[in-house]
Structure 1
Amino acid sequence: MSEAKVREESRHSGTVQRASGARRSAGATHPGYKREQNEDAYWADEQRGVWVVADGLGGHQAGEIASKTVVEEIQRSAATDRHYERALQRAHALLLGDEHTAANMGSTAVVVAEDGAYFHIYWVGDSRAYYWSPGAGSGQLKQLTNDHSYVQMLVDSGAINSQEAAQHPNRHVITRCIGGSTNPRLEIDRVSSPWYAGHRLLLCSDGLSAEVEPEQIAAILAENSDNRRAADLLVAAALDAGGKDNITVQVVDAPDPAPGAQKWTSRTGKALHASARGLGSRGRLLLAACAVGTGTALAAWLFGII
């Protein structure tokens, strides 16, 4: 399906929903062709530097309630304490304590929160975060999250390989979710990384990642610098692949310039590099500590990381 087709569908049927007023990011969601209802939810606040994608489980209204609960708790946290792990724990407790909650009602979630020159990712289940960096061809797409799923457990144990995992009949069975009576205690994974100018993050539900190969995702990001266009084409690619599940994506640009590079100048780098050559190992270690205070790009350049 072409981008034009996706836009045409959104005008006439309202099936593609998008965020508005965004500058650095764009999000889109679509119910797909096999589901009557969209149980995914997403939200973004660029000013506060937080993005979330949640994939509801349980069918019909149950999944919608679960994903909406996750988003509402992230919104509450963004406006108050910015403790997003606590927000996911609150959503978990609310879903477990809801008298209308069925045993299989829950949600996966992936959250990105910026903190100066860094971003932090929190996730539960098989909603994913990818990091795209420019380069030759389609650049490099790296999966930052690790699925909490039965098939991922088999891959990690060496029982099957990634090709077998993609075709496994139980590939949609998750081992961890927010809510659901089988998970009374919620474990949340976290990873952190510095931002670099020109790089991007992709958040998505498994409606994209289970249907579209990473090579195609990378190509779409490489060929479309406009986030709105990239988000629409990612949804279109999942629909072309069959649209068997709800599809939700958010594409996020690094700050421009990336916060870690704001204080960097070539003159400063040359001076510090010259100073480093004249120092012993203890002096270089001290200089490295100072360099961290002036930005991750400077420290990386000084010690040959980039």
Structure 2
Amino acid sequence: MNEVIAVGALTDIGMRRTTNQDAFLAERGVYVVCDGMGGETGGERASAIAVEEFARLAAAGERTRAAIDAAVQRAQRRARALGGELGGIAGTTISGIVLPQWDAGTDPHGAQPDAHMPGLVIDDWDATQPGAALDDSTLTGEWQAARGGWAAPCYVVNIGDSRTYHMERADSAVMAWDARTFTQLTHDHSSRQEAIDAGMGEAESGRRIARNVITRCIGAPHGTHADVFVAPAHGRFIMCSDGCHGELEDATIASIAAAHNDAAGAARALVQASLDAGGSDNVTVVVVDMPADRAALGARGEDDEDLGDVHGLDDATVQT
């Protein structure tokens, strides 16, 4: 039996912005969302820098904790220098997952690069433009791979207030996904979240603190570091900028995601719902569905753990 990873990704400028400072990467087992900030072009360029550095990580195939940290610090140096050039701060969030193994391959689709896990072949790739309501770029794809082609765990990476969520498959012939299992894996680096952590109620923090005041970003003048931890690579992962989770309650995100069996449909529906709810910011969603027969392996690991440490693997096992 073959294993399939399905990916749907979509970004939209929103209803009120004049530029799209969001960006995403969805290739070679690296799936991240970035939300830039910093003037007319600073945020757009900063998010592009983060995507470029994680694309280097994807192309190299090396998926250790050290390699992820190195990609973050390369992006940090470049974004900080950009801020100095522009006379301010050019920053970006980043949130998503990194699979630990991936064999480099060639891109048979030109503008949409791809690579192969062991035994991987492209199956039903599509790159299309969205409808009128979604006037920015879209990327959807589905990959088919032989069983056991990659290590079961993955890394979750986060800086800022973009988010990575997770949900399990449903034990049902009607619904493929179980909204009751919807979980936020990442922890926001924001003033609002810090107030909640200190004991302020969510409703009060929402009234008193703007949602977009973040406390950590790539490009920060005094440096940055990412939350990186291990999670089982099964079920559905949903990565989004605050243009999605700032417009929609978690329960709404969960119900919309669960109502769409395919990753591309879920991504499109979440972006459209964010626009319908006001579309006050750029909105980006990446949905990654792991193989249906990939068994659950338990809860997330501790922060800063390496797959080699947690699972008794050496670096030769978790990089290519």
Normalised by the length of structure 2, the TM-score is 0.69
Equivalent positions of 1:286-305 (< 5 A) are: none
Task: Decide whether the 8 Å contact of 2:247 with 2:277 is kept in 1.
Answer: yes
Deviations 1:187-209, CA, capped at 9 Å, x for gaps: 2112211133xx20000000001
Q: Trace 1:1-306 onto structure 2 (pairs within 5 A).
A: 24-45=6-27, 48-80=28-60, 81-82=62-63, 83-98=67-82, 99-115=84-100, 116-135=151-170, 138-158=179-199, 160-181=200-221, 184-196=222-234, 199-258=235-294
Moved more, 123-132 or 186-195: 186-195
| Cα offsets for 1:97-146 (capped at 9, x unmatched) | 23524322100111311131011111110010001124486332100000
Single out whichever of 160-169 and 26-35 deviates more from structure 2.
160-169
Query: Does structure 1 retain, via aligned residues, the 8 Å contact 2:168–2:182?
Result: yes
User: 1:260 & 1:212 partners in 2: Cα distance?
Assistant: 28
The alpha-carbon distance between structure 1 residues 178 and 248, as it changes in their structure 2 partners (threshold 3 A), is: same
Amino acid at match of 2:165: Y
One-letter amino acid matched to 1:84? I
Structure number with higher helix proportion: 1
Q: Equivalents in 1 of 2:97, 2:204: separation in Å? A: 30
Structure 1 residues 92 and 101: alpha-carbon distance in aligned structure 2, compared to 1, 3 A threshold: farther
Distance 1:195 1:77 in 2: 19
Instruction: Report runs of 4+ in structure 1 exceeding 3 Å deviation.
Output: 134-137, 166-169
Distance 2:295 2:99 in 1: 10
**Does structure 1 conserve the Cα–Cα contact (< 8 Å) formed by 2:14 and 2:283?**
yes
Offset, 1:167: 3.5
- Do the aligned partners of 1:131 and 1:143 also contact (CA within 8 Å) in 2? yes
Deviations 1:32-71 (Å, cap 9, x if unpaired)?
11100000000111xx311111100013211110000000
- 1:279 counterpart residue number: none
CA contact (8 A) 2:191 2:209 kept: no
- CA displacement 1:156-195 (0-9 Å, x = unmatched): 011x1122233334221001110032xx221211221113
User: Which deviates the most, 129-138 or 145-154?
Assistant: 129-138
Could you tell me how far apart the structure 1 residues matched to 2:295 and 2:68 are?
A: 21
CA distance in 1, matches of 2:57, 2:262: 29
Give the unaligned 5+ runs of structure 1: 1-21, 262-291, 294-306
Distance 1:85 1:41 in 2: 20
Aligned length: 235
CA distance in 1, matches of 2:289, 2:170: 16
Structure possessing the higher radius of gyration over alpha carbons: 1
Q: Percent of pairs identical after alignment?
A: 38
Q: Distance in 2 between matches of 1:91 and 1:235?
A: 27
Provide the rounded CA distance (Å) in 2 between the counterparts of 1:254 and 1:215: 22
Higher relative contact order (CA 8 A, sep 6+): 2
Amino acid at match of 1:107: T
Rounded Cα–Cα distance in structure 2 between residues aligned with 1:109 and 1:40 = 10
Shift of 1:23: 5.9
Query: What is the rounded CA distance, in whole Å, between the counterparts of 1:129 and 1:111 in structure 2?
Result: 6
The question of whether the paired residues in 1 share the 8 Å contact of 2:5 and 2:288 is answered with no
Any gaps of 5 or more consecutive residues in structure 2? 101-150, 172-177, 298-310, 313-320
